[in-house]
């Protein structure tokens, strides 16, 4: 019999149900026309990139979908009167709890009540995606909150799966006494493996999708300007991941947000940003998605992705589009290294421009190297998940001898290995 799973945290920008009605789900965002209307939808998920990585376990696992649910454990603890009551509620209704994390190891992260809840929980629980935000000194967890550390001690002791995003996080956790962590990468990379293995070098650079940090504060301008400079001579489409909530003068202006097309008014936003950043905006349109399917459909209408957001690149790869992920911190670099995703420093992109980075990082050989590493990381993910007692949906079958070949990867084996997965 398939498991009834509870998934924490929420993967869609929808309003959650507070009442205990049977066969109910949350309501969709408003079709209001202001940026404020639009941004209210993000209160449930935070950064919209969370939709891509949180949805992955919902999609990649095989389980009793009618008996499963996304659940906000903080609200459950509050409404039921504490962590112990919340644990009892989970035990009555579910057979397991899947906890999808991201950059949980950072100074401002808090997980109130979670240690107590997990300590009282009698059904299995599984943690995936946990990672550090920035480089951490070995043996030093002094910047991490007590609630996070208390939770991780229970995870170390009881979790059926303690999955972290890469070896940088794993090694740091090992240095502070957590030895159960497995480096399995970001689950979002494993939701659509056939599409990722269909990626080829772009035939043209005409339609580019990008994302970054278009913020205008004095300490934030440089990152935005560095990305913009790299696109000289091009007009990419830009995907916001929450930045418009900082555009205070635009928030309540009517008719800037078009919910049907998932876009924000180009003229108003370009004018606003140009005045504050001092350069003309190169972007042909501004997307801001409230659900991941629309994001993937838009990505499929472009030739490639080059951007300063990891999950913007993942959305493109999920539909078979090549991507170069730009990085400015250890969090993104850890993920690209683990999966072998084509990537480069943001400053290098600014210097080389679109043609330069495509010719360097999206060659046939570079993509084949990425695919070989990907097959190995996919196999590792499958092994870790299935060993924990979970089942994979629509699993890509990987012949056992292929993994040995990906580790050796002589040039003569590259194309023949990949041909086994390509139509």
Q: Which two tokens stand for residue 346?
A: 């943001």
**Is the full-model pTM beyond 0.75?**
yes
Tell whether 185 and 209 lie within a shared domain: no
Domain count, the chain: 3
* Whether residues 17 and 36 fall in one domain: yes
Q: Are residues 129 and 27 in the same domain?
A: yes
pLDDT of residue 422: 59
Residue 157 lies in domain: 5-190
Cα–Cα distance measured from residue 68 to residue 57, given in angstroms and rounded to the nearest whole number: 12
Are 197 and 185 members of one domain? no
Cα(127)–Cα(163) distance, integer angstroms: 6
Report pLDDT for 416. 56
For residues 40 and 244, give the distance between their C-alpha atoms in angstroms, rounded to a whole number.
11
**What is the per-residue pLDDT across 290-308, written as a single tens digit (0 to 9) for each?**
999 999 999 999 999 999 9
- For strands 263-264 and 257-258, give the pairing: antiparallel
The CATH code of the domain that includes 201 is 3.40.50
Among 170, 190, 210, residue at a domain's last position = 190
Could you give the C-alpha distances from 301 to 204, 260, 295, 355, in angstroms and in order? 13, 17, 10, 20
In this structure, are 215 and 334 located in the same domain?
yes
DSSP letter string, 226-257:
HHHHHTTT---EEE-SSGGGG-GGGTT-TT-E
The reply to whether 288 and 322 lie within a common domain is yes
Asked if 38 contacts 254 with a C-beta cutoff of 8 angstroms, the reply is no
Q: Are residues 59 and 140 in the same domain?
A: yes
Indicate whether 397 and 321 sit together in one domain: no
Q: Are residues 246 and 270 in the same domain?
A: yes
Domain termination site, one of 190, 220, 241:
190
Residue count (the chain)? 423
Distance between CA atoms of 181 and 127, rounded to whole angstroms?
9
Residues of the chain with pLDDT under 70: 20-22, 400-423
Q: Kindly tell me the burial class for residue 19, based on how many C-beta atoms sit within 10 Å of its own C-beta (0-12, 13-18, 19 or more).
A: exposed
318 and 200 in a common domain: yes
Order of strands, sheet of 343-345, starting from the edge strand that comes earlier in the sequence: 257-258, 263-264, 285-287, 237-239, 208-211, 304-307, 323-327, 343-345
Interatomic CA distance for residues 248 and 272, integer angstroms: 10
Alpha-helical segments (H) within 124-210: 146-158, 167-175, 193-196
CB 185 within 8 A of CB 167: no
Domain endpoint, select from 313, 337, 361: 361
- Cα separations in angstroms, 320 against 84, 144, 214, 255: 44, 37, 26, 33
Distance CA 332, CA 349 (A): 15
pLDDT in tens, 79-132: 999 999 999 999 999 999 999 998 899 999 999 999 999 999 999 999 999 999
Query: How far is it, in rounded angstroms, from Cα 270 to Cα 287?
Result: 13
25, two tokens: 């789900």
Residue 232 and residue 290 in one domain: yes
The separation between CA 369 and the C-alpha centre of its own chain, rounded to angstroms, equals 22
Is residue 6 within 8 Å of residue 94, measured between CB atoms? yes
CB 44 within 8 A of CB 71: no
Q: Are 293 and 195 in contact (CB under 8 A)?
A: no
Q: Do residue 372 and residue 316 come from a single domain?
A: no
CA 288 to CA 295: how far, in whole Å? 8
* Token duo for residue 210: 């990008």
The contacts of residue 271 (CB under 8 Å, 6+ apart) are none
């Amino acid at each position: 019999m398939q498991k009834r799973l509870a998934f924490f945290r929420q993967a869609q920008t929808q309003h959650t149900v507070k009442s205990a009605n049977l066969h109910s789900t949350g309501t969709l965002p408003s079709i209001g026309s202001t940026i404020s209307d639009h941004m209210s939808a993000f209160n449930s998920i935070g950064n919209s990139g969370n939709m891509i990585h949180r949805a992955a376990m919902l999609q990649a696992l095989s389980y009793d979908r009618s008996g499963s649910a996304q659940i906000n454990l903080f609200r459950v603890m509050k409404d039921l009167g504490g962590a112990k009551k919340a644990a009892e509620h989970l035990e009555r209704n579910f057979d397991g709890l899947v906890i999808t994390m991201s950059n949980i190891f950072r100074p401002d992260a808090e997980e109130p009540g979670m240690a107590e809840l997990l300590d009282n929980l009698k059904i299995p629980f599984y943690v995936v995606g946990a990672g550090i935000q920035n480089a951490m000194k070995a043996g030093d967890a002094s910047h991490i909150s007590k609630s996070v550390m208390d939770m991780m001690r229970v995870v170390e002791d009881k979790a059926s799966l303690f999955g972290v995003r890469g070896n940088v996080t794993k090694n740091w956790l090992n240095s502070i006494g957590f030895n159960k962590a497995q480096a399995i990468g970001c689950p979002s990379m494993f939701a659509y493996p056939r599409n990722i293995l269909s990626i080829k070098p772009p035939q043209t650079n005409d339609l580019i999708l990008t994302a970054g940090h278009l913020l205008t504060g004095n300490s934030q301008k440089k990152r935005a300007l560095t990305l913009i400079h790299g696109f000289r001579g091009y007009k990419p489409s830009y995907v916001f991941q929450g930045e418009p909530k900082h555009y205070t003068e635009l928030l309540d202006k009517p008719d800037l947000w078009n919910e049907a097309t998932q876009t924000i008014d180009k003229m108003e936003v370009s004018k606003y940003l140009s005045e504050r950043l001092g350069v003309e905006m190169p972007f042909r349109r501004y997307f801001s998605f409230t659900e991941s399917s629309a994001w993937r459909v838009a990505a499929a209408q472009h030739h490639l992705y080059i951007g300063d957001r990891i999950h913007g690149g993942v959305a493109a790869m999920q539909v078979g589009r090549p991507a170069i992920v730009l990085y400015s911190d250890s969090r993104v670099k850890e993920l690209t290294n683990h999966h072998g995703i084509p990537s480069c420093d943001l400053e290098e992109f600014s210097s080389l421009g679109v043609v330069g980075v495509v010719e360097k990082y999206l060659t046939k050989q570079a993509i084949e190297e990425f695919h070989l590493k990907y097959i190995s990381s996919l196999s590792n993910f499958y092994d870790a998940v299935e060993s924990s007692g979970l089942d994979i949906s629509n699993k890509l079958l990987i012949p056992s001898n292929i993994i040995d070949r990906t580790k050796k990867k002589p040039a003569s084996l590259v194309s023949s290995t990949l041909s086994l997965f390509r139509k």
